[in-house]
Amino acid sequence: MLGTPPERNLPEYNVMMKFESGEADALVANLPGPHQEPWLNARDMWEPASPAAVEMTLHDPAMASAVFGRVIDVAAGACWATARLSQLDAVQEVVALDMSKAFLTSVGDRIINMLKGDRNKIRFAVSSFNSIPFEDGYFDCGYFIATLHHCESPIRTLKEICRVIRPGGTLFIVEELTAITRMRGARDEAIRLSRLNKFTELAYTRAEMRYWVRHSGFDHVTFHAIDTLCGNKLKRIIRRGMRILDIENVFLPTLYILQAKKAAVLEGNGI
């Protein structure tokens, strides 16, 4: 397996140890849900729209053409997205990157088999997300699903992901972003959760995320809103009307797929 786990002096070490030690497995063992696999129930509870978001990237013509060749699943975790991406004919290799070797080779391995991932295409790698063990420009495409809000240094992490994606390649980020009018409360709650759980929680707006991504070397940034969790038809219609007026993100937290293309040549300072 490529790479080395985070060292003891890094803030990611304690997070890694929760997964390495089995503590995280114990936390999800009794979660309710339709799956025999606890980590799929955890995904459905904590990231209910993430599978739909991945499918959207694979079926929306504006996004699907960017998913090919070598793909990295950053913060792969239970590897359900790795398994799905490996099934695509256009994908030659999928690297599942996370901080815990034990978690990848137990839970990740189990779920890849369960979801019928193509094992001939999949490789595991372990490291901090700020030190990815691949050469510059190795990947054609990357996924970073529901994890950026846990990063202590988002721009540093995004720059490192940008480094391993080739010029012209694409990164897909799935995140729920905070409404501008709700930012103070969201940040107070993020601080409370961070102190309680010893696990970084960040709250940020769409504009802040766009700035971080462009600052990191990506360009042509597009936000695709996901409203699959909005079961009320009237609310969906209202949301879509607000989206047309570009005020949804002002008043309502919104789940997005951010599609970012790495600049072929940085202009000026890249910002």
Residue 3 lies in a domain: no
Domain-embedded: residue 37:
yes
DSSP 3-state percent helix, strand, coil across the chain (nearest 5): 45, 20, 35
The verdict on residue 17 lying in a domain is yes
Domain-embedded: residue 267: no
* CA distance linking residue 151 with residue 171, whole number of Å: 17
For the chain, what is the domain count? Answer: 1
- Tell me which residue range forms the domain holding 163: 12-261
Within a domain: 197: yes
> Is residue 45 domain-resident?
yes
pTM over 0.85: yes
Q: Is residue 271 part of a domain?
A: no
Q: Is residue 109 part of a domain?
A: yes
Structure tokens belonging to residue 203: 């709250």
Q: For 228-231, which contacts have Cβ atoms below 8 Å and span 24 or more sequence positions?
A: 228/49, 228/52, 229/48, 229/49, 229/255
What is the pLDDT tens value at each position of the chain, 271 positions in all? 899 999 999 889 999 999 999 999 999 999 999 999 999 999 999 999 999 999 999 999 999 999 999 999 999 999 999 999 999 999 999 999 999 999 999 999 999 999 999 999 999 999 999 999 999 999 999 999 999 999 999 999 999 999 999 999 999 999 999 999 999 999 999 999 999 988 899 999 999 999 999 999 998 999 999 986 677 888 889 999 999 999 999 999 999 999 999 988 655 544 4
pLDDT for 119? 97
Crossing angle of helices 154-164/206-215, nearest 10°? 50
Return the pLDDT at 145.
98
CATH number at residue 170: 3.40.50.150
